[in-house]
Amino acid sequence: MDRFLTADDLAKTLRQDVREGLLGTPKTLPPKWFYDERGSALFEEITRLDEYYPTRREREILTARAPDIATATGARTLLELGAGSGEKTRLLLDALAGTLRSYVPVDVSGDFLEDAAKGIAADHPGLTVRTVVADYEQHLHLLPGGDRRLIAFLGGTIGNQPPAARIAFLGGLRATMSDGDFLLLGADLVKDPGRLVRAYDDAAGVTAEFNRNVLRVINRELDADFDPSAFEHVAVWDEAEEWIEMRLRSTRDQDVHVRGLDLEVSFAAGEETRTEISAKFRRERLEAELAAAGMELAAFWTDPAGDFSLTLARP
């Protein structure tokens, strides 16, 4: 396992993010801190909800197009950013079996990486599996090189960054790519706002618990005293930005102590803290942002319903 990111680095970033986010106006907390063990389990549960279509749709596209991806890329190395989408990985690995020599799952947490890698190595004898603990916003240049790499960034996570950060990220990725490398990018598409809001505000309240989980993470990691039950889940469609925004709305005036940061924060009744944006795309926008990052489209696929997209891009 290659570690470019230690538990200490992560702790430091969390402290910075929470301090800056809670002192800002409006208050924000970045979505990357949802995913402790409980948050990851809640996200898994979200992917099985009727209302949350992205995971199912992306799997449909991958099932249909994995052979095309194999033919177009002839990939020797599959690098997966934000691994953990186990089932989708398997679809790709099986389709690429003819040319693939190594698989490199990259994630900020090493906890689940090793186990997942062992399972995959056992099922694919001859495949070199090299796990990398890294923050793909910071360590792109440290990822293993080689020729004919396919870099997969699935799930629609690209939408969690605002446009400028997205283009910077894609540009950074482009800078590490050479001729023969490809990017496989999963991105959710603009659609009926009612469906979008339901996907992020499900009837069973799983997404609400997932959203509040960030408060539990801060309580544990930074010795804070958030009362998660005093925050309501809010999901709104921002028509101008074309993104879903998740927020936590304080149900009353309250003070929260973040002892680990020596910080006291007041929330007014009704005050909203932004916890996630999840941008939805149109093909033209994806094409334009990839072009701004120095890449061009090699293929663009959607599921039959046109809900989700997979883009294959190259330098």
Q: How far is the CB of 57 from ligand AVJ (least distance, A)?
A: 11
Q: Which residues of 74-89 are buried (b: 16+ CB within 10 A; e: fewer)?
A: ebbbbbbbbbbbeebb
Q: Is 39 in the site for ligand AVJ (CB under 6 A)?
A: no
Segment interacting with ligand AVJ (CB under 6 A) among 7-15, 142-150, 157-165, 189-197: 157-165
Q: How many CA atoms does the CB half-sphere of 53 hold within 13 Å?
A: 21
Residues 249-268 that bind ligand AVJ (CB under 6 A): none
Is position 160 annotated in a ligand binding site? yes
Q: Which CB, 44 or 147, lies closer to ligand AVJ?
A: 44
Q: How far is the CB of 201 from ligand AVJ (least distance, A)?
A: 9
Is position 52 annotated in a ligand binding site? yes
Q: Write the CB contacts of 72 (distance below 8 Å, at least 6 apart in sequence).
A: 182, 298, 299, 312
Q: Which CB, 70 or 237, lies closer to ligand AVJ?
A: 237
Q: How far is the CB of 55 from ligand AVJ (least distance, A)?
A: 8
Calpha distance 100→148 (Å, rounded) = 9
Q: Write the CB contacts of 309 (distance below 8 Å, at least 6 apart in sequence).
A: 61, 186, 187, 188, 189, 281, 283, 286, 300, 301, 302
CA pseudo-torsion sign 34, 35, 36, 38: positive
Is position 213 annotated in a ligand binding site? no
Residues 86-115 that bind ligand AVJ (CB under 6 A): none
Q: Write the CB contacts of 97 (distance below 8 Å, at least 6 apart in sequence).
A: 124
Residue nearest ligand AVJ, CB atom distance: 278
Calpha distance 106→110 (Å, rounded) = 9
Segment interacting with ligand AVJ (CB under 6 A) among 110-118, 127-135, 150-158, 288-296: 150-158
Pseudo-torsion of CA 215, 218, 224, 227, nearest 10°? 10
Tell me which DSSP letter residue 53 carries: -
Size of site (CB under 6 A) for ligand AVJ: 11
Q: Is 276 in the site for ligand AVJ (CB under 6 A)?
A: yes
Tokens coding 203: 């009837």
Q: Is 46 in the site for ligand AVJ (CB under 6 A)?
A: yes
Task: Mark 188-217 with x for binding to ligand AVJ (rule: CB under 6 A) and - for no binding.
Answer: ------------x------x----------
Tokens coding 77: 């190395």
Pseudo-torsion of CA 178, 180, 181, 185, nearest 10°? 130
Q: Is 169 in the site for ligand AVJ (CB under 6 A)?
A: no
Q: Which CB, 89 or 207, lies closer to ligand AVJ?
A: 207
Calpha distance 315→294 (Å, rounded) = 6
Q: Which CB, 46 or 150, lies closer to ligand AVJ?
A: 46
Calpha distance 290→43 (Å, rounded) = 28
Segment interacting with ligand AVJ (CB under 6 A) among 69-77, 156-164, 170-178, 287-295: 156-164
Q: Which of 30, 39, 84, 156 binds ligand AVJ (CB under 6 A)?
A: 156
* Annotated binding-site members for S-adenosyl-L-methionine: 82, 88, 107, 135-136
* Annotated binding-site members for L-histidine: 52, 160, 200, 276-278
Sites of contact with ligand AVJ (CB under 6 A): 46, 54, 155-157, 159-160, 200, 207, 276, 278
* Annotated binding-site members: 52, 82, 88, 107, 135-136, 160, 200, 276-278
